[in-house]
Amino acid sequence: MNRSLQSSGGYTDPVAFELLADGLLRIDPSVDRTSLYLRAETSDFLRFNRAALRQATSVQQAHVTLAVERGQRRAESTLTLGGEPALDMERLRAECELLVSQLDLISDDPWLSYPKAATHSRRDDGGALPEAAHVIALVHELAGVKLELDLVGFYAGGPVVHAFADSLGSRHWHRVESFHFDWCLYHRADKAVKTSYAGTHWDDAAFAGKLEEAARRMPLLTREVRTLQAGAYRAAFSPSAMVELLGTLGWSGFSLKSRRTGVSSLMRLERGEAAFDAGFNLDEAVALGTAPAFTAEGFVRPDRIALVDAGKLPQSGGTLNSPRSAAEYGVAANGVGAPESPEALRLGPGSIAQADLLSTLDIGLYVSNLWYLNYSDRQACRMTGMTRFACFWVEDGKLVAPVNVMRFDDDVLRLFGSGLVGLTDVPEFTPSSDTYGGRQLGSITTPAAVVEGFKLTL
């Protein structure tokens, strides 16, 4: 076989990965296990400003992490794959030899843990995606010519693959062919309506419908802007705003290592000093998301891990336990990767009908989007961040006036504990739009929320 794989779909094709795995992962008596973890994508990236194209980029990339393990020692190396199978195989074999030689240079790692038996899984979510040229033309015609909108946005589409194979015979294949297009329609300065259209099957009419619906919301932004004073406000968070809050909670909050070293943002929950509202139920629900059901080391992920149960920690502890932390702290691993960060968070529904969100808020702040969240006191679960885009002052359950951006600084355990008025009844699935290094497959599913006493500071 000497043809270029890139011209035949590259490593987003399972045959290509199988060839690599079968050729490389032979039984080697000098190691206990050799493994390959592949991340590949063929992506179109289109960025628009003022409904015109700023950059159009096609990216074909494949990275494979090659690892060797012997006893309590492991060495690993990540390489870009070129697409010439013979050349890729030659480079991987040379790298493998080097890694095996490194095992003699390092010491035993008592917390190293890796699978001892073969496992298998396969998921292939096929799609029907548009050509990049079609999206460029559609945005130009609809947003630029027909609606004359100041659209700034980003389209990313194409197949993303994560695959794993090892010398024990494990084979995992996870391919998602999808697109994600999110954009802002700007009124002026920092006032905009943000919308997204994501999925596996593109539909011109659905895209046009979302664009036109967003355009219809623009006149609200032309109303006189209100500036709020610092203080505590009754507030409604859209699912987009909730994604930011829950995503930040996932930054160390559920990590076993962070809990055991005392740096988790949920230490007060762990110590029983605080609790979420009894209607607050949080899971890591891989089966309902788009993330792979296996880790880079080849561990299989369970469908669901309970993180918060009726406002408190579940019997299991509500932590994400990587194999390494599990070994170090003497608990069972639960199939998460080394960062111990959630990839498929799901907040359960409440009882507020979606259509009643604003009437339940009655008077207060509707937060469409939040931005740049961080901890101002991590151990106290105190977060800060900014409101962004189309946030409104609400009276009598109706949007009255856009508000200028405000900084909040608040205790999230209190906000979703004693401060929680309720959650809406239909959680919304939000796929990750992150593209650092490559397109990410995480997601957060969450309802909207109404809270009391949301603290604005500046």
Residue among 373, 131, 134 at smallest CA distance from 251: 373
Considering only residues 62 through 81, tell me which ones interact with another protein, judged by CB under 8 A: 62, 67, 73-81
Per the CB < 8 A criterion, the answer to whether 198 and 219 are in contact is no
DSSP-assigned letter for residue 25: -
Distance between CA atoms of residues 301 and 293, nearest Å? 5
First-last CA distance in the chain: 64
- From candidates 30, 55, 227, 354, binder to another protein by CB under 8 A: 55
- From candidates 13, 182, 356, 452, binder to another protein by CB under 8 A: 182
Q: Is 226 helix (H, G, I), strand (E, B) or coil?
A: strand
User: Closest separation between CB of residue 229 and another protein, Å?
Assistant: 14
User: Closest separation between CB of residue 96 and another protein, Å?
Assistant: 12
Buried b / exposed e along 80-107 (16+ C-beta atoms within 10 A)? ebebbbeebeebbeebbeebbeebeeee
Q: Which residue has tokens 């695959």?
A: 163
Residue among 156, 153, 157, 158 at smallest CA distance from 211: 153
User: Closest separation between CB of residue 70 and another protein, Å?
Assistant: 11
Does 47 contact another protein by CB under 8 A? yes
Considering only residues 399 through 438, tell me which ones interact with another protein, judged by CB under 8 A: 405, 407, 409, 411, 434-437
Distance between CA atoms of residues 96 and 65, nearest Å? 11
- From candidates 117, 189, 205, 355, binder to another protein by CB under 8 A: 189
User: Closest separation between CB of residue 347 and another protein, Å?
Assistant: 23
- From candidates 32, 61, 121, 452, binder to another protein by CB under 8 A: 61
Considering only residues 308 through 337, tell me which ones interact with another protein, judged by CB under 8 A: none
User: Closest separation between CB of residue 84 and another protein, Å?
Assistant: 6
- From candidates 22, 86, 97, 106, binder to another protein by CB under 8 A: 106
Between the alpha carbon of residue 240 and those of residues 73, 102, 323, 430, 446, the distances in Å are 43, 46, 32, 8, 9
Does 376 contact another protein by CB under 8 A? yes
Binding flags for another protein, 333-372, as an x/- string (CB under 8 A): --------------------------------------xx
Q: H/E element holding 205?
A: helix 204-221
Does 156 contact another protein by CB under 8 A? yes
* Largest Cα–Cα separation, the chain: 74
Does 45 contact another protein by CB under 8 A? yes
User: Closest separation between CB of residue 360 and another protein, Å?
Assistant: 28
Considering only residues 107 through 126, tell me which ones interact with another protein, judged by CB under 8 A: 107, 109-112
Q: Is 108 helix (H, G, I), strand (E, B) or coil?
A: coil
Nearest residue (CB) to another protein, 77 versus 119: 77
Q: Among the candidate windows 14-22, 23-31, 102-110, 352-360, which touches another protein by CB under 8 A?
A: 102-110
User: Closest separation between CB of residue 397 and another protein, Å?
Assistant: 27
Does 154 contact another protein by CB under 8 A? yes
Does 183 contact another protein by CB under 8 A? yes
